[in-house]
């Protein structure tokens, strides 16, 4: 009889970005996909958008860098040639939905990692989709390595592949 720990498993992780405000600094999300029924739709491109719900406690003003609630500046108005933006300061993601296309197109899945375990051996499949900037892919691979989702050799293998291929699918071993 197989030990519970030794049974064959399939896990999937999505990597992407969430732009929480007018800021250009995204929040990176490595997240385990709990419903594996979505896998095919993500791979086919039917579902690639990320739609998060955020709980925000504080906003910063891009003009005075103070609390946006307290400062006199208005979002969208131009002050001395600079457009006022509000920047999220203190937030938590309460929910993430995977949708066909997010209304904010930059919020989407860049990468999909599938880890399968068969007869105690793990194999890894990395799907690289369209990214916002070239470094997104390598950041995601590094994140996967930092979170010990992939071994160092796999990270190196994937990075090497994506240094010559913009998008695509690569397996390890």
Footprint of another protein (CB under 8 A): 18-20, 51-57, 59, 67-70, 75, 86, 88, 94, 97, 99, 102-104, 107
Closer residue to another protein (CB): 80 or 95? 95
Report the nearest approach of another protein to the CB of residue 79 (Å): 16
Closer residue to another protein (CB): 89 or 159? 89
CA distances from 34 to 37, 98, 141 (A): 9, 11, 20
Closer residue to another protein (CB): 27 or 145? 27
Residues 6+ apart with CB under 8 A from 89: 57, 58, 59, 60
Report the nearest approach of another protein to the CB of residue 99 (Å): 7
Report the nearest approach of another protein to the CB of residue 12 (Å): 22
Question: How many residues make up the chain in this entry?
Answer: 173
Report the nearest approach of another protein to the CB of residue 171 (Å): 33
Indicate the pairing of strand 109-118 with strand 9-18: antiparallel
């Amino acid at each position: 009889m197989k030990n519970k720990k030794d049974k064959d498993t399939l896990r999937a992780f999505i990597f992407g970005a969430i732009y929480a405000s007018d800021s250009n600094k995204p929040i990176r999300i490595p997240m385990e996909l709990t419903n594996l029924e979505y896998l095919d739709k993500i791979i086919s491109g039917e579902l690639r958008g990320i739609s998060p719900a955020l709980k925000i406690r504080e906003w910063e003003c891009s003009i005075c860098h103070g609390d946006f609630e307290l400062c006199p500046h208005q979002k969208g108005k131009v002050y001395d040639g600079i457009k006022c933006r509000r920047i999220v300061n203190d937030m938590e993601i309460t929910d993430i939905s995977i949708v066909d296309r997010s209304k904010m197109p930059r919020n989407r899945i860049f990468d999909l990692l599938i880890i399968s375990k068969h007869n105690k051996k793990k194999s890894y499949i990395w799907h690289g989709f369209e990214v916002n900037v070239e470094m997104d892919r390598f950041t995601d691979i590094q994140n996967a390595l930092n979170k010990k989702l992939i071994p160092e050799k796999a990270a190196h293998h994937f990075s090497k592949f994506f240094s010559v291929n913009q998008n695509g699918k690569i397996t390890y071993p």
